[in-house]
Structure 1
Amino acid sequence: MRARDLGVAPGIFAPGKHNAITDVADVRVGQVTLKEGDTVRTGVTAIFPHSGNAYRSRVPAAVHVGNGFGKFIGSTQVNELGELETPILLTCTLCVWKAADAMAAWMLDQPDMHQVRSLNVVVGETNDGGLNDIRARPVTAAAVRTALESAASGAVQEGSVGAGTGTVAFGWKGGIGTSSRVLPASLGGWTVGVLVQSNFGGVLQVSGAPVGRELERYAFQNAVALQGNGQPGAADDRGDGSIIIIIATDAPLGDRNLRRLASRGMMGLGRTGSSASNGSGDYVLAFSTAASVRRAFDATRLETSELANEQMSGVFQASVEAVEEAIYNSIFMATTVSGNGKTVEAIPLDRVREVLQRYGIAPPKH
């Protein structure tokens, strides 16, 4: 179930209709889940900034690197030019280059693209090599095309789907999660939507409740038990992994303020109990869909109308809330997955509810 079904509603702002990144008008998501035999558990998730040609009509964008242990194809040009010119793909670590090549081929084959000689495809990843035979690099061009061509608005599938099929978060099954916030009219009425691919660790807390500690599954568990002269715990991880966070908004922001917005994604991540460990690649990409900041590929001048710095605080707050909730959704919506000789269990939601009730966060179940 989603976080709100457990009584978990981070922050103060209300979500949009679907409580998803697609609440930002014209943003679309497509996903392909790959489960083959006993070994392949991976997939592709595609995010479109709008329904037009992303190369011809570019949105301003920025990437914030919380911890750079990862592969994020195209991120340097995004930050150099401050814009996206393709959809965003998420997949598994050893599949990023295959996914990038497949999206480049798909883009170059689109109408009005036959004279294009340079293309900055954007592909992020997390490592699902526990549940997935990642060395087989099972993501195909056909899977990428299907994810791109199936992209749609509306509700977004969450949990063990798409690029989240084989991921793990806080020792339980992770996956794809999404959430949104709509600012009050007095703060501009803007919508902020988030999608995450969670595959990281730490000490899970939910709205401040120490869920990981109470369920006795958290990073450094063995070290803590041994320090107290007790028995070693069941887990001995260091919170490694990765997370990709995508933030979309219809607030008219240029790439400078989008870089500031992206950095706030780390605050939402921190609220869930991550410390951005050494082995965790933590990346946040933010973009604006507003027509007033859109950039034509062949523009000779940019005349845009952007939100002023003083109007950013509400957007920052909304992004922190939506990132936090999207991460909870990615875990609470995930199902137990077996693959590659390993099983990762879904988090036991009944026990989570008990912890939340004990700490005064969730209402009693009726």
Structure 2
Amino acid sequence: MTSHASERPRARNLGLPFPGKAGPFNAITDVAGIEVGYSTVVSDSSISGRGPARTGVTTILPRGRTGPLRAPVWAGFHSLNGNGEMTGTHWIKEAGYFTGPIGITNTHSLGTVHQSILQWMIRRPDTGVEPYKFMLPVVGETCDAYLNDMDAFHVTSAHVTEALDTAASGFLAEGNVGGGTGMICFEFKGGTGTSSRVIELLGASYTVGCLVQANFGIRPLLKILGVPVGEHLTDNRLWAGEQGSIIAVVATDAPLMPTQLERLARRAGLGIGRTGTPSGDGSGDLCLAFSTANLTMSESAAAPAVGDLAFLPNNRLDILFEATAQAVEEAIINALVAAEPMVGRENRSVAAIDHDAVKAVMRNYRRLKA
């Protein structure tokens, strides 16, 4: 079982001056009710002659384990580049919502995680919520095949259950944890990262939180707060061409319509772009946004003939757009800063980003105090 508390420094601990006001956890869990769980799978023993495990699964429960699990969550989806998979998005595009937990894992374990979430949900009947005839879990993936033997199917139903049963609020571990365990970002060790922003809008306070599984980018393109850090940190290169993927999940307690949440998901793409990637052909860059507001318990025949939906005006959403881009950008850098070096299959080694080297570059560009 993986601790949910982060033991590594975060980007702000290095003095990086990210804009915006973060929540108390600076995590997606700053949105009330959201819980995150991990199962990290690291082993050097082979399965059926296959290679080592450097993988895992991350789960996000929009309403927590004790909340109405099957209550719809309004959502929007955006594909910045579609060389990847996120299940359930056709229904999100059609109906504007999803139900149940979100899972994030490696490419070849997507089916296992999808089925295991269904099994977990079936074992936990919701009181007060109309039973659904079917469920379409949202599960996203990125490829960890450089360090992990994906063909060994190391992630099992037990790991998914662990990630769901241990999901909690509060501070979150980052880097080599959960689905991000074997991921690589800008040719450094990458993985799981999170951040949040608190904004004031029309007399109310709202939170935008983000969690990413960062597995994309090539070194020369890496930018941190606009500084071309990757041009200066040239050691331990891995490849020449853009590859990999990122899953970005954005959550908010602001009342938004599904069309507005799709707009928020697009702004997650801007946060990804701020780190320097052009979202290359081989990268699956998939963005999901959801709101915990407008709780609807049932679509049964007993439901009101006309429902009410609260939402903010479109022409006042700019501050939410900026908060989303800021949170996604910082979450990616948090994943880089928190990650530790890793040796995986075939003794392949991936270095972690050097904190002192990053600070030195940022000072040279006058983005960090001496």
Normalising by structure 2, we get a TM-score of 0.90
Q: In 1, Cα distance between the equivalents of 2:201 and 2:164?
A: 34
How many residues were matched structurally?
346
Shift of 1:53: 2.7
**Do the aligned partners of 1:253 and 1:293 also contact (CA within 8 Å) in 2?**
no
Q: In 1, Cα distance between the equivalents of 2:299 and 2:25?
A: 32
The equivalent of 1:10 in structure 2 is 18
Counterpart amino acid of 1:249?
A: T
Q: In 2, Cα distance between the equivalents of 1:159 and 1:305?
A: 37
The equivalent of 2:260 in structure 1 is 257
Q: In 2, Cα distance between the equivalents of 1:9 and 1:122?
A: 34
Shift of 1:271: 0.5
* 1:60-104 per-position Cα deviation (integer Å, ceiling 9, x unaligned): 011101000011111111221110111100000000001101111
Q: In 1, Cα distance between the equivalents of 2:239 and 2:42?
A: 28
Q: Which moved more, 1:113-122 or 1:355-364?
A: 113-122
From the superposition, tell whether residues 161 and 286 of structure 1 become closer, same or farther in structure 2 (CA, over 3 Å): same
The equivalent of 1:362 in structure 2 is 368
The equivalent of 2:6 in structure 1 is none
The equivalent of 2:357 in structure 1 is 351
Q: In 2, Cα distance between the equivalents of 1:357 and 1:9?
A: 12
Counterpart amino acid of 1:9?
A: P
Q: In 2, Cα distance between the equivalents of 1:187 and 1:283?
A: 32
Q: Which of 221, 224, 234 does residue 216 from structure 1 map onto?
A: 234
The equivalent of 1:77 in structure 2 is 91
Q: In 2, Cα distance between the equivalents of 1:236 and 1:199?
A: 13
The equivalent of 1:296 in structure 2 is 298
**Do the aligned partners of 2:62 and 2:292 also contact (CA within 8 Å) in 1?**
yes
Q: Which of 150, 163, 166 does residue 147 from structure 1 map onto?
A: 163
Shift of 1:235: 4.9
From the superposition, tell whether residues 186 and 303 of structure 1 become closer, same or farther in structure 2 (CA, over 3 Å): closer
* 1:175-207 per-position Cα deviation (integer Å, ceiling 9, x unaligned): 100000000355632100000000001310101
Q: In 2, Cα distance between the equivalents of 1:50 and 1:312?
A: 24
**Do the aligned partners of 2:116 and 2:161 also contact (CA within 8 Å) in 1?**
yes
Q: Percent identity?
A: 42
**Do the aligned partners of 1:254 and 1:293 also contact (CA within 8 Å) in 2?**
no
Aligned pairs for 1:312-323 (under 5 A) are 312-323=317-328
SS in structure 1 opposite 2:72? Answer: strand
The equivalent of 1:243 in structure 2 is 246
Q: In 1, Cα distance between the equivalents of 2:79 and 2:99?
A: 20
Q: Is 1:42 the counterpart of 2:50 in the alignment?
A: no
**Do the aligned partners of 1:60 and 1:294 also contact (CA within 8 Å) in 2?**
no
Q: Is 1:129 the counterpart of 2:161 in the alignment?
A: no
* 1:137-162 per-position Cα deviation (integer Å, ceiling 9, x unaligned): 11100100110111101001101100
The equivalent of 1:23 in structure 2 is 30
Counterpart amino acid of 2:186?
A: F
* 1:32-74 per-position Cα deviation (integer Å, ceiling 9, x unaligned): 100112610000100011131331x211011101000011111
Q: In 2, Cα distance between the equivalents of 1:186 and 1:259?
A: 21
The equivalent of 2:313 in structure 1 is 308
